[in-house]
Amino acid sequence: MLQAHLENLLTYWRHPITDAGTEGLNSKIQLIKSNARGFRSFANYRIRILFFCGKLDLYP
């Protein structure tokens, strides 16, 4: 199994970059989506994603 993925493993050691941040954001969006069964429009869904994932501050 390691032999089949050896090239990808060596690439990670040369360039230690992961997509963990993107996966975390995607997880938050999926949670919002599962809770958003009652939204009437995509605009409301989009606003909720921007509010929770964009870390918007409502205070001046």
Domain ranges of the chain: 20-60
Evaluate if residue 43 carries a pLDDT over 90: no
Q: What is the pLDDT of residues 5-14, one digit of tens each?
A: 899 889 888 9
Q: For the chain, give the longest Cα–Cα distance.
A: 56
pTM for the model: 0.60
Distance CA 51, CA 60 (A): 15
Q: What is the pLDDT of residues 13-35, one digit of tens each?
A: 898 888 888 999 999 988 888 88
Q: Tell how far CA 44 is from the center of its chain.
A: 19
